[in-house]
């Protein structure tokens, strides 16, 4: 069928797959945590401006 080239191509494809999974897992999680952190800071700033929390609570 493939003439003996199925195994090397399969291993190459599996290696590329796992490199992609690791890359997206590391970059995806770091992006989400930064996004949540920025949103939390914005909420705190908004609540401080409205007077809902004090400066001590903000810090």
What are the structure tokens assigned to 4, written together?
A: 């003996």
Top pLDDT among 28 and 56 is at 56
Domain boundaries, the chain: 6-58
- Residues 3-55: tens digit of each pLDDT: 676 778 888 999 999 999 998 887 776 555 556 667 888 888 888 888 888 88
Q: Model's pTM, two decimal places?
A: 0.43
Q: What is the DSSP letter of 58?
A: H
């Amino acid at each position: 069928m493939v003439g003996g080239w199925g195994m090397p191509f399969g291993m190459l494809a599996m290696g590329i797959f796992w490199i992609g999974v690791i890359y997206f897992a590391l970059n995806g999680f770091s992006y989400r945590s930064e996004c949540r952190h920025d949103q939390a800071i914005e909420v705190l700033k908004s609540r401080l401006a409205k007077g809902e929390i004090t400066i001590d609570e903000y810090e």
